[in-house]
Amino acid sequence: MGKTIQLNNLSFAYNERQILKALNLVIGRKTFLSIIGPNGSGKTTLLKNIARNLKPTDGGILIDQRALETYGSAELAREMAVVHQQTDIGAAFTVHDVVMMGRNPHLTRFQQEDAHDRQIADQAMQWTSVDHLEERLINEISGGERQRVMIAKALAQEPTLLLLDEPTSFLDIHHQIEILELLKKLNQEKGISVIAVIHDLNLAARYSQEVLLLHQGKVLALGATEKVMTAANLEQAYHMEMMIDRNAYTGSLQVCPVSLRQRKSRTQCIHVIGGGGMGKEVIQRLHQDGWQVSLGVVNKGDSDAELATRLGMTIIEEEPFSDIQATTLHSAAIAANKAMAVILTSIPIGRGNLANIQMVMEQQKSGKTVIHYNTYLPHVDFDYVKGEGARLLEEMALAGMESTNDLDQLMAQLEAMAHEAEA
């Protein structure tokens, strides 16, 4: 089951406009491949070339080493079923009729479908949960229902290769997962190759074994999902900042489009005193604005530390539930020394992290710019060391520590400092 697909120097142009540019690749047997890429990158055009709905302007396609154009149409339809994006079918057909059309490639010209054909069509309707719509007219059901009927028709063809163009685009979340689970099952249990254009990067990451990332009609990356769906590849294709994480529940890759802004790249470092999630906002923003960031001292496993780890920042960590060791504090002081400025976020101050505040105080005394990102709420106690934390903050404020609760203003101040340093 399944078939290999080989593209040899495949090019395609609409009129004079070159869309696919000399693609060379092999799609393995029995794979579940998602084709992803931004609007207009050529995904549908590629799918239509493979489905023989469009003829390459140059190069060719081999299905299991055999040229695509040598297949007879019924012969090809027994191998390959295609579910296009929008399908317009005449009004007179019921859902049952449409699904039954999937059996045509298996019948000779005047042959009527028999019990076996009906059984296969029934099964396809059950798999796609459209059996209850059997007697309804195809143009009198919803877009999502019609999409599932078209998948049922494709399955009734009993193909070894299933091509789908955005199979989940009209479906609600329940049916999206149902259809993708079904495709995965058909792929794993029946060995049917599935090639699907999928816009939703998280669904593509969750269900596909391999991914083809198209960009401007060329292959930007092809291979195992984890190798292709990297922040660097996706940023290059979609021109925005991305973060790749792993879903704690499903374990699959999770793509988070962070910002439309292209990240600047700066050489200056900012040291952040965070902890307990209070540094998150600042860490994210510093990262977006392209600063190098060091964080610490924070406890291992702290949510600020987890975020900073994902963003590849320098972290100075201490074992949880223990006092900050002198050597750890020394490492944090070295990091702070190297930084252009130190940002103290609104952490709760307790016995465990009081040493952080003392270290920041030393930094201020030695002339380092220390800015307090002060988001403490009035009347909410943040001092768990009998007023010692509040006293140190007050002392630093008197010694000139600036304080703001406006993140934009804080970033503008850092920008101005960097500018001044460069001048």
Ligand X SMILES: Nc1ncnc2c1ncn2[C@@H]1O[C@H](COP(=O)(O)OP(=O)(O)OP(=O)(O)O)[C@@H](O)[C@H]1O
- What tokens does 303 get? 């949510």
215 lies in the binding site for ligand X (CB under 6 A): no
Residue 41 or 328: the one with the smaller Cβ distance to ligand X is: 41
CB of 219 to ligand X, least distance (A): 13
CB of 55 to ligand X, least distance (A): 13
- Tokens 């002392």 -> residue: 395
Site for ligand X in 250-289 (CB under 6 A): none
Residue 41 or 353: the one with the smaller Cβ distance to ligand X is: 41
Q: How many residues bind ligand X (CB under 6 A)?
A: 10
CB of 214 to ligand X, least distance (A): 6
CB of 19 to ligand X, least distance (A): 5
Q: Which one, of 420, 329, 341, 417, lies nearest residue 373 by Cα?
A: 341
How far apart are the C-alpha atoms of 356 and 350, rounded to whole Å? Answer: 10
How far apart are the C-alpha atoms of 195 and 263, rounded to whole Å? Answer: 33
CB of 41 to ligand X, least distance (A): 4
Under a CB-based contact definition with an 8 Å cutoff, are residues 162 and 194 in contact? yes
Partners of 7 in beta bridges: 25, 61
- Tokens 């529940």 -> residue: 249
How far apart are the C-alpha atoms of 393 and 403, rounded to whole Å? Answer: 10
- Sequence-ordered list of residues with C-beta below 8 angstroms from that of 61, at least 6 positions apart, any chain: 5, 6, 7, 8, 10, 49, 50, 67, 68
Site for ligand X in 35-74 (CB under 6 A): 37, 39-45
Encode 288-318 in three state secondary structure: HCCCEEEEEEEECCCHHHHHHHHCCCEEEEE
CB of 51 to ligand X, least distance (A): 12
- What tokens does 40 get? 């207009």
Contact string 3-22 vs ligand X (x = CB under 6 A):
-----------x----x---
Residue 57 or 314: the one with the smaller Cβ distance to ligand X is: 57
Residue 8 or 169: the one with the smaller Cβ distance to ligand X is: 169
Residue 51 or 354: the one with the smaller Cβ distance to ligand X is: 51
CB of 45 to ligand X, least distance (A): 3
Residue 45 or 345: the one with the smaller Cβ distance to ligand X is: 45
- Tokens 């599932």 -> residue: 148
* Chain residues that interact with ligand X, rule: CB under 6 A: 14, 19, 37, 39-45
